[in-house]
Amino acid sequence: MIDRYQWYEVVALYAGIAVFLFFVLAPFIEGFLVSLKPLAQLFSTPYSFIPKNGSFDAYFNMWNSVPLLGLYIFNSFFISTIVTLIVVAVVVPAAYAFARFNFAGAGLLLGMFLAVNMFSGAVLLIPLFRLMRGLGLLNTYFAMIVPGAAFLIPSSIWLLRTYMLRIPRELDEAAWVDGASRLYTLRRVILPLAMPGIVVVAIMTFIGAYAQQFIFALTFNSKSEFMPLPVGLFAFFGKQEVQWNELMAASFVGILPVMVVIVFLQRYLVAGLTAGAVKQ
C-alpha cells in the first residue's frame, strides 16, 4: 500500500466495520438468541438480549410442533436442486451460442433475455396461475419448479456468456480444423474449460431458487406435502401465539443446506462474481 493508515484511521475503520456488520448480522444474532430462549422468557419484560437458562430445546421440540418440518426442508432443497439442473441444462448451450456465433438477431435476443430479467414473477402471477392450472400443474412440485427456473435463466445466460467470451476462440477453431464436429467441440473442449463458470452459475441459481420460493409456493401450491420451507414456516404461527423460538430454530436448520454449499464454494463464487461484475 502507498500510504499507511494512522492509528486513529485503523480504529475508525474497525468501528465502521463493526457498525456495518452489526446491521447485517443483527437479525441472525437476535434470531439465534431467540431460538435458545424458552417461550415464556420471550414474552416477559424487561427485554433481555442474552437468554437466561438458554437451551437447545426448541431445536428438538419444533419437530413435534410442526410434524412436516423435515419434509418442508427437504422440499426446499429438492425444488432448488431440480431448478438448478434445468437452468444449467438450458443455459450452457444458449450461453455458448451467444458467445461464439454472430448470427442475425443475436444482439436483439440477448437484449430480450436481459429484459425478461426485469419482470418479476409477481407481476405475471395471474397468467402464470392460469397457465399452471391449464397444464394441471397446480399443487405439484412443478408449479414451483417450472416458473422458478424461467426467471433464473436470463441472468445465468448473461453471466455464463461473459465467462465463455474469455475462453480463446482459437481453441474451437483448432478443434474444427482437426475435424471435430461442433457438438463434439462444445462437449470436449469448451465444457471442461467453462466448468468454473458453470459452477458459479449453478450456485447462484441454487441460492436464487431457494430465495424465490415464497410467492410461487404461496400462489400455486396449497398442499403441505409439496410446500417449501419459506411458506411451510407459517405453520409456526399458531392460533394463539407465534412460537418464535421454534420458528427461529427451524429457520436456522433450514438455512443450513445453503450455508454448507456456500462455505464450500465461497472462493469460486467471489471470483466468478468479480469477473462477471467487472466485465459488465
Partner 1 sequence: MTSTRSATLFAFALLAPALIYISIIVAYPLFDTVVLSFTNAQLRPTYDWVGWANYQRIFGAGNFTEIIIRTLVWTFFSVSIKMIIGMCGAVLLNAAIPGQTVFRVLTMPPWIVPMAIGIYMWAWMYNGNFGMISGLLQNFGITNGPVAWLAYGHTAFWATIVTDVWIGVPMVTIYFLAAMQSIPKDLHEAAWTDGAGRLYRFRRITLPLMLPAIITMSLLSLIATFNSFDIIYILTNGGPSGQTTTMIIDTYKTAMGSRKYGEGAARAVVICIFVSIFCLVYFRAVRRLGQGEAK
In this structure, are residues 38 and 62 in contact, taking their beta carbons and an 8 Å threshold? no
Q: How far is the CB of 55 from partner 1 (least distance, A)?
A: 19
Q: How far is the CB of 57 from partner 1 (least distance, A)?
A: 18
Q: How far is the CB of 124 from partner 1 (least distance, A)?
A: 4
Residue 51 has what DSSP assignment?
P
CA distance 261 to 263: 6
Q: How far is the CB of 67 from partner 1 (least distance, A)?
A: 20
The enclosing H or E element of 23 equals helix 7-36
Please say which residue, 24 or 53, places its beta carbon nearer to partner 1: 24
Q: How far is the CB of 69 from partner 1 (least distance, A)?
A: 13
Rg (CA), the chain: 24
CA distance 62 to 11: 43
Please say which residue, 2 or 192, places its beta carbon nearer to partner 1: 2
Name the nearest CA neighbour of 149 among 203, 197, 82, 73: 82
Q: Which residue has the cell 415464556?
A: 40
CA distance 276 to 56: 42
**Phi and psi angles of residue 237, each rounded to the nearest 5 degrees, phi first:** -85, 85
CA distance 225 to 93: 34
Q: How far is the CB of 78 from partner 1 (least distance, A)?
A: 14
